[in-house]
Amino acid sequence: MSIREEANPGFYDADSTIYDQQRWVSRSGVFTNETQQAIVAKMTADWGGEGLEIGPGTARFTVPLLRKGLKMTVCDISSGMLDVARRNIEGAGFGKHVKAYREGSIYELPFEDEEFSHSICLNVFNHLEDPGQALSEMARVIKSGSTLLFNYANLCSWYFPAAMRINSRGSAVGQEVYSTWERPGVMERHIRKAGLDLVTRTGHVHVPRELEKFKLLPVVKVLDRLSRRGPLSSLAAVHFCLCRKR
């Protein structure tokens, strides 16, 4: 972990107790959550066996994966987020379906080579300085021929001015957490270098928390539809990438 990333665990420890209440209860938050859930459900429709989720947050993606029959291991750098994830998973009745809760860094995952059928990491890469190393670690722990899913914030998107400001500051707007937006070409090179093939990419436009006060949801919904597929998908603010290990 770099010096600039060192504050991230503490930020998410503090954020864990208010994360769900702040992010997913507003109209914009509901839209973002429902859209992301639908994208993930579609891209993991054929998943089975044992999966690893890195950075599960409060387990909003973990629970649907457990519900469809996967056995999951969850790993997070924040002990606070891990505690909240465990409570939410157990509250949903899936505690027995989780193999382990592990605290650790995506740069040095505490797991064996080819241990899992799939790995998933969502809304984490925009807080990493070395996405290439993170992808290599995600690939290392899954079996050959298996898939992994991750997303990243796209610098070359509808949100380009805000993304440039975030990159120049090295932190999210209104939040003291390291953040960065990446160029798609750079991420594609990281994917190939990690021994992965890009199977499919889906675009999504979300409403950042700091922009909710401007009531931009109708505009964002239009941009999101335009960004899902087709010629404008490259302008999506978030790219969800499903990759297969060679």
Q: In DSSP terms, which residues pair with 101 in a beta bridge? A: 74
- pLDDT at residue number 2: 46
User: Under CATH, which number does the domain 8-245 receive?
Assistant: 3.40.50.150
Q: Where are the domains of the chain?
A: 8-245
3-class DSSP string for the chain = CCCCCCCHHHHHHHHCCCHHHHHCCCHHHHHHHHHHHHHHHHHCCCCCCEEEEECCCCCCCHHHHHHCCCEEEEEECCHHHHHHHHHHHHHCCCHHHEEEEEECCCCCCCCCCCCEEEEEECCCHHHCCCHHHHHHHHHHCEEEEEEEEEEEEECCCCCHHHHHHHHHHCECCCCCCECCCECHHHHHHHHHHCCEEEEEEEEECCCCHHHHHHCCHHHHHHHHHHHHCCCCHHHCCEEEEEEEEC
- pLDDT at residue number 7: 57
| pTM, to two decimals | 0.91
- pLDDT at residue number 16: 58
pLDDT tens digits for the chain (246 residues)? 544 656 555 555 555 566 666 677 788 889 999 999 999 999 999 999 999 999 999 999 999 999 999 999 999 999 999 999 999 999 999 999 999 999 999 999 999 999 999 999 999 999 999 999 999 999 999 999 999 999 999 999 999 999 999 999 887 766 677 889 999 999 999 999 999 999 999 999 998 766 666 678 999 999 999 998 788 999 999 999 999 999
- pLDDT at residue number 15: 58
